Structure 1
C-alpha cells in the first residue's frame, strides 16, 4: 500500500505528462491565434457596437437633417411632391429610392446617385423642403459598416476578417480547454495573491461566458465572407437550395437584382438582396401612371410594415419595389413589385417563400445584428461587444505583465501531440477542410515553423521553439 502511494504507476505519470504537454500546446496556439484575432475582434466589436446603436447615434449627430418639427394641423406632403423637390435640388442625378419617416418627427429619406457618389437626401415631410444630404458611407455608422465588413480594404480586408474569424474558433476552443484544465492552478495563484492572478481569473471567466456567443457570431457571419460564403453558396445551389431567396415570379430578361437596385441601402433584407426584379410592361401605358404614393398605398393594402423603402423604376420597363420593414422579425420580410403604369402587383416574395437554408441564415443574421427577440437580443449583443473589448484589452495586458526581460516574445513552449491524440488530429484536419482559409494559413504557419523558425537560432530563441529534430 505504502509503495503505491510513494510511487504512482508509470502510466499515470505518462498521462499527467501528456496532459501538461497538451495544456502548454493549447496555450501556445491560443497565444499565437490572439495576434491575428485580437486586433480584428477589437475592430469588429467596436464597430458592431456603433452599428447596434446607429438609430440613437445618427439622429443625435445629425438632428438638423434627421429630425423635424411637426406643425400643428399640418399633414405630410405627398411623397411624389417630396420626390419632385429632390429632383429639382439634384437635376440630372438619379433618385434611387425613398424611405418613409420612421416617426412623426423624422425626415423622409431619398437615396440619390450623384457624380460624387451616393447621397442620402433628407426632406421635411410637412413643408416638403430639402434639408440637406449626407454621404451614407461617411457617417459614423456608415464607416462602422465598412470597417466591420471589409476593414475598408475591399477583398483583402474581407479576407483578413474571414481568416481572423476562422482563427477565432481556434482561440475560443483552446480558451475553453485552458479555462477548464487550469482552474485549479488559477485558484491557487489567486489564493496566494500572485501578481496578475485576479486579472487572469477575470479574463478566463469572461471568456467562458463569451465563447459560445463568439462561436455563434463567427458562424452566423460566415455567409457574408468572400471565400467560405461564396463557395458554400455554390455548394448549396448545386444541391437545389440557396442562402438567398430567388423569386421565381420575378424572372425576366434582362433581370436585375434587388441589391443592385438599392446598392447603398441598408434596408434590403439580406436574403432578398439577390432576388430578381421583374419588369413593367410599357404596353400598359394606356392605364393610369403609378407614383411612389401608389406603391406605398399598395404596400399598405397588402400588409407590408412601415416604414417602407420604395426602390424607384430605373427606366420605362422598371417597377416600384416596396420593401416592408421587418427589422425585429425576419419572418415578416416581404417585397412587392408594383407596375409603374397600372399600379398592379407584378410579383410578391417574402420569408415564407425562402428556401429553408435562406430562412436559417436570415434568422441567424437577425440574431447576429441584435435585432431578434426585441430588446433582449439588443442588450445581450451590446453586452457581448463590451465583453469582447474587455477580452481584447486584458489578453495583451496579461502578456505584457508576464513578458520576459530578455528580447523574446514570451510565447509558451509546446507542440500539439497529434500522433498521440488522433482525435485531435482529425479535428484539426476537419476544421482546415471546413474553413479553407484556416487550412491554408495553418499550413503556412506550420511550414514557417518547420523551415524557418526552428532553423534560425535568433528566431528560435525569440519565438521560444525547439530546434528541429534529427
Structure 2
C-alpha cells in the first residue's frame, strides 16, 4: 500500500511594506505626514530663497564695504581729524551731479565710513553718492539696487518679478506656517518610532532624528519670522492695512512730514523704510511745512543746522536727513533707532528759521503700528543687539539645514523604479475629527491665500487624481 504524502502547507507570506502602509493609510499621523510631504515641494524653494537672502541682508554692513572698499571706506587722516560741515559735503555732491536732486543724507555709521547722499537722477533713477567726510571729496556713486544686499532685498521682497513673485512668496509663507504646525505634530507623535528606528540602525534614522530635533527648535523662530513678515505681503498685508485704516489705525508708522523719501537701501536705520504708500490712521495728521514769508524767503538754516537742532532734541547718531526740495519743504531728521524700535523719532525743522515745526515718534504710533514695528525689528535681527543678530543668523542657517535634509530624507527612502513618488499614504479624517475641520477652516479664513490654494488642491485630488488610475498610483492616493 502506497502512502500518499500531503505537501506541507506553505507559511503565510509576510505583508510587504507597501501593503502595511496601505493598511495604515487612514491614520491621522500618516495623513498629516502626507500633507507635510507635499507642502514641502512649494515651501522648501521659498524658504531657501528667503533664508539665503535674509542671511545676506543680515551681514550687509560687513559684506558691502568688502565688495566696494573704494566707495564705502575712507582713510582717517589722524586721530584728531575733524569732519567737514555737511553743507560743504552736500555742495560737493551738487557740484559733481548738477542735474541730480539730492533727496537725503545719512551720517557715517562709524569712523572710517563715508557720508551717503541719496539722489534722484534726471531720468528718475536713484543712486547713492559716497563722500569722504574729511576732504570733502565725492568718491563715486552706485545704484543701491545693483549691490549684493540690494539684490537680496529685492529677491526677498518679490523675487524681482513684481506681483507674481509677491503672491508666490506669500503662498509659500502661508504653507510654511502649516509645515511648522504639522511638523510639531509629527515630532511629538513620531518620537517613539524614530527612537526605535535609530536603535535598530535603520537607514536614514539618524538624519530623520536630526531633522526632527532641529525642527523642534526652528519651528518657533520660523513661525515668528513668517508672522512678522506677513504685513509686507501684497494680499494679506494690504487687506489687513485696509481694515485697520477703516478703523482709524494702521500697521505702519508712516509720517506725512517727510518732504522726500530716502532712497538708500544701505542705510536701514530709517524707521519708515518699510512703510507702504498708505497713510497711518485716518490721515488726519497735519503735514509740517516751512514758511518762506517768515524770513523773507531767505534760508538761514542748512543741513548742519538740522543736525544740531535734532541733536538738542535728543535724537541719536548717526542721523538721516531728508532735504527739502521746494519752498514749503522741511528738513526731516530721523534719529538712529536700528537697535531699538522704541527710540524711533523724527524731528521736522523749518528750512528758513531752523526751528522745530513738529516731531513724530514711536509714542505717536497707533498701537497696532507699535506691535508691527517691534515685529520688524525682530524679523530683521536688530531689536536685541548681538543676541538678536546672531539668533537670526543661526535661524537662517537652521532653516537652510531643514530645507536640505527634508528632500534628502525622501530621496533616500523613495521607491526606486516603482513608478510612484513615494508619498506617505493617508487621508485626513475630517468627518471623524470636527476640531481638525474647524482648524483648517479657521486657518483658511485667517490666511486667504492658503484657504484658496487648499480648495484648489482638494478639488484636484477629488476630480482628477482619484479618477485617473495612473495619477492615483503615482501620487500614492488612498481611498
The normalised TM-score by structure 2 is: 0.89
Structure 1 position 431 matched with structure 2 position 437: no
Provide the C-alpha distance between the structure 1 equivalents of 2:334 and 2:83, rounded to a whole number of angstroms.
Answer: 21
- What does residue 4 of structure 1 align with? none
1:168 correspondence with 2:176: yes
Q: Structure 2 vs 1, CA of residues 450 and 434 (structure 1 numbering), >3 Å: closer, same or farther?
A: same
Quote the residue 1:21 is aligned against. Answer: 27
SS at match of 1:454: helix
1:195, CA displacement in angstroms?
0.6
Out of 124, 129, 141, which is 2:132 matched to?
A: 124
Q: Report SS of the residue matched to 2:333.
A: strand
Question: Which residue is 1:465 aligned to?
Answer: 477
The residue number in structure 1 matching 2:261 is 261
Structure 1 CA distance for aligned equivalents of residues 351 and 299 of structure 2: 9
- Mapped to 1, the partners of 2:371 and 2:144 lie a distance apart of 29
CA gap of 1:335–1:430, structure 2 versus 1, over 3 A, is same
Distance 1:329 1:242 in 2: 20
Change (3 A) 1:175 1:196: same
CA–CA distance in 2 between the matches of 1:74 and 1:391? 50
Stretches of structure 2 that go unaligned for 5 or more consecutive residues are: 1-22
CA distance in 1, matches of 2:465, 2:443: 24
Equivalent residue, structure 2, for 1:205: 213
Q: Provide the residue aligned with 1:444 in structure 2.
A: 456
Give the aligned partner of residue 59 of structure 2: 53
Give the secondary-structure state (helix, strand or coil) at the position aligned to 1:120. Answer: strand
Q: CA deviation at 1:171?
A: 0.4
Q: 1:320 aligns with which of 331, 336, 351?
A: 331
Is this contact kept in 1: 2:49–2:156, CA < 8 A?
A: yes
Q: Which runs of 5+ in 1 are unaligned?
A: 1-16, 252-256
User: 1:239: Cα distance to partner?
Assistant: 2.4
Partner residue of 2:92?
Answer: 85
Contact 2:126 2:263 in 1 (8 A): no
Work out the CA distance in 1 between the residues paired with 2:243 and 2:372.
15
Q: 2:50 aligns to what SS in structure 1?
A: helix
- 1:32 positional shift: 1.0
C-alpha distance in structure 2 between counterparts of 1:207 and 1:245, whole Å: 34
Mapped pair 1:70 → 2:72: no
Aligned-CA RMSD value: 1.9
Q: Distance in 2 between matches of 1:411 and 1:206?
A: 22
Asked if 1:374 corresponds to 2:376, the answer is no
- Which structure has the highest helix share of the two? 1
Higher relative contact order (CA 8 A, sep 6+): 2
Aligned positions of 1:227-246 closer than 5 A: 227-245=235-253
Give 1:336's aligned residue. 347
Partner of 2:27, secondary structure, is: helix
